[in-house]
Amino acid sequence: MSRHVARIVALAVLVAVAGTGTSGAQTMPPSLGVLVDQVLALFPKVDGEVIEVQDGTITLALGSRDGLISGVELALYRQGRELRHPRTAEILGRTEQAVGRVVIQQVFESYSTGTAGQGSEVQPGDRARVSAGKIKLSLVPIVEGGVKEGLVDAAVHEVIEALNRTGRFQIGPGDAISVWIAQQGMKRDDVLAGKGLDSVAERFKVEHLLVIAFTRVQAKPYMDVRLFSLPGVSPRLTTALFVPATIKPASKGDFSAGSRQRESQTSAPQRSFLARLLFGDLDAGTYSSGESSITLKEIAKFPFVVASMDIAVGSKDRIARMVITDGDRVYLYRITPERVLEPEWTYRGDTRARVFSVQLAELSDDGAQYVVVNRYSQIPAILVSSLVLATKDKKAAVAVENVSEILLAVDASGEGVKKVLWAQSFVENGFFKQGDALRVSLRNDRLVSDGRVRVPSTFRATGATYTNITGKGTRALAFIDEHSRLRIAIDTEDAFRSSTLVGGGQAKLGVERQIERGGRTYLYTPEPMPLSVDLDGDGIEEIVVPQNQFPGRLAVVFKGPAGFRFQTVNSGFEGTVVALGAITGDGTPALVVALVRYTNMLNTQGETQIIMTTAE
């Protein structure tokens, strides 16, 4: 394996020097393009000023318009005296002093905030950057039994070629590192967790390490990918994908020689929705490729930005409904079997507060659908002003209003219907009170507490759902934390946390605080609700969540024989996925996507498509 990988790496470097043309980019599998885009996004060419430092939080004059995203790590430096040519007096530059590093946490249009690394001595006026030169990246493959050497070589070659085509990276051969890791007896899972990699950095003088671990999952070759910036143990990127079927083994005979089938064809045709998502290699404008076909239908288009959406099927009337909001009004629709929207009612309340989330829930024994609405206003006398809407005489009726907590409807029992309501307290510092949740019920037109709910300290009542992804009979809480990572927790203990960013795309919520002179507005972001749905009919749910850090991306999290798997899928959609829903029943579920295309710089105006997959 090691000689093959060294040969592939050397070949890729030669190809990069000679030039690859455009044909390689056109033939690269879309799923590998997603991987390369994720790596590339972590190294934007940026250089900006530090404008504020408070309690370890650094504010930079760099934002999304500069190409910055959350999770990027920048070097901090301080400029010194000018350097002049001794004869011509030409200014050659300035001296520089390294003062630390910063990891970006929140990104806004024109600025961002991040956390300073240990030992950083940064102050306003310093600068932060990612080098505009080529990034030195060492690619290290790790192979488990069952994956053919020729296929590994071919996949590694494809990744290296794609990274070289960006012109942003200088790829270093990782053959010696692979051998050394094996000699040290380091286990695959330990390497993927970053254990022992500081010694790799010290021994081999590497700055960035791209680890690709090959194994077999569900009888398919699978790539687990981690990107580490060293020294350090926390991965900057965690993603995975099945080796695309279009990648052919480098050595003939292992898979396709004679009458033998390629490995990607040896198993039975993939027919589950999960399989079509994971193996389909969906790309913009192409949703059909034989057995991977996923048929889409636009069921509605709205001339405004949808801020939130939810889909539910009534437990008694079996009617599918959709609720959406533009931040001002709340709209309730029926979805007919012909995939047509029929309006039921529209509600508009206090216009001083903006709606940031809506959910459908059954809060009474008669199976009636209620709409749980969270609203927020920066006006100190209002702040959080949630409410619950019911349907009466075919019109919207307020069941409960002026609730000062953030509400979340959950399917706690696994019946497929949200019947339980949680409330989380609002606080100015952090918006969501950490580790706080009450179970509440609707009684006599008011919400009554039924006791506390045990939740992780990082839980936020936004971007959260209950799921049985950990196994039948077990309910786990999946939610997006304040750092845009997906967490799966059983009771208060984490079972999984993604290193790759998820969520995003929602309007910011501003809280004005008077800590500093003249006050300051702190911005918090609600998150789209992850969708927990059984995509392959085995009774175990998968989680689908938008990844709006990369346009048109969805993340699919599922549990297989080797544990939790996180895979990014290129949906082919061009826009921001603000919400996901599903219509379940007998057979394949139908996914519903709210896709926004913004028409102004501030992302406050635009149009929304509601797109549905068919059950066929």
pLDDT of residue 12: 32
Q: Which two tokens stand for residue 473?
A: 């009979």
pLDDT of residue 246: 83
Q: Element (H or E) spanning 7, and its range?
A: helix 2-18
**Cβ atoms within 10 Å of 439's Cβ, excluding its own:** 16
Compute the distance between CA of residue 391 and CA of residue 368 in angstroms, rounded to an integer.
8
Compute the distance between CA of residue 480 and CA of residue 424 in angstroms, rounded to an integer.
15
Angle between helices 175-183 and 2-18 (to 10 degrees): 160
pLDDT of residue 109: 80
Q: What is the pLDDT of residues 142-175, one digit of tens each?
A: 998 788 888 998 899 889 888 988 888 988 878 7
First to last CA, the chain: 42
Point out the residues of the chain with pLDDT beneath 70: 1-28, 232-233, 250-272, 275-276, 278-294, 515-518, 561-562, 615-616
DSSP string, 430-450: TEEPTT--EEEEEETTEEEEE
Query: Running DSSP on this structure, what letter comes out for residue 283?
Result: B
CA dihedral 56, 62, 68, 70 (to 10 degrees): 20
DSSP string, 568-599: EEE----SEEEEEEEE-SSSSPEEEEEEEEE-
Number of H-type helices and E-type strands within the chain = 8, 38
pLDDT of residue 124: 93
**Which one-letter amino acid corresponds to residue 302?**
F
**Which residues on neighbouring strands pair with residue 76, listed in sequence order?**
100, 128
CA dihedral 418, 423, 429, 435 (to 10 degrees): -80
All residues at 6 or more sequence positions from 78 whose CB lies less than 8 Å from its CB, including other chains: 96, 97, 99, 123, 125, 126, 127
Short-list 534, 530, 576, CA closest to 552 = 576
Half-sphere exposure at residue 535, Cβ-oriented, CA atoms within 13 angstroms: 21
CA distances from 247 to 26, 271, 283, 515 (A): 14, 21, 16, 57
- Taken in order of first residue, the domains within the chain and their CATH numbers are 2-41+134-256 (3.40.50.10610), 46-130 (2.40.10.410), 291-613 (2.120.10.10)
Quickly list H helices, 55-122: none
pLDDT of residue 615: 54
Quickly list H helices, 117-166: 149-165
CA distances from 166 to 37, 162, 357, 410, 499 (A): 9, 7, 39, 44, 23
pLDDT of residue 257: 28
pLDDT of residue 479: 97
**Cβ atoms within 10 Å of 23's Cβ, excluding its own:** 8
3-state secondary structure of 302: strand
Angle between helices 30-41 and 149-165 (to 10 degrees): 50
Whether the model clears a pTM of 0.75, i.e. scores above it, the answer is no
**Which one-letter amino acid corresponds to residue 78?**
R
Angle between helices 197-204 and 175-183 (to 10 degrees): 130
pLDDT of residue 323: 98
Query: Running DSSP on this structure, what letter comes out for residue 348?
Result: E
Compute the distance between CA of residue 375 and CA of residue 402 in angstroms, rounded to an integer.
9
Contact 135, 168 (CB under 8 A): yes
pLDDT of residue 516: 65
CA distances from 497 to 17, 70, 528, 557 (A): 39, 16, 17, 11
Residue 123 has φ and ψ, to the nearest 5°, of -145, 160
CA distances from 356 to 97, 128, 389, 508, 599 (A): 44, 34, 15, 9, 20
Compute the distance between CA of residue 341 and CA of residue 199 in angstroms, rounded to an integer.
59
* Greatest distance between any 2 Cα atoms in the chain: 90
Q: Element (H or E) spanning 222, and its range?
A: strand 220-229
Length of the chain: 616
CA distances from 262 to 147, 258, 259, 449 (A): 13, 11, 10, 59
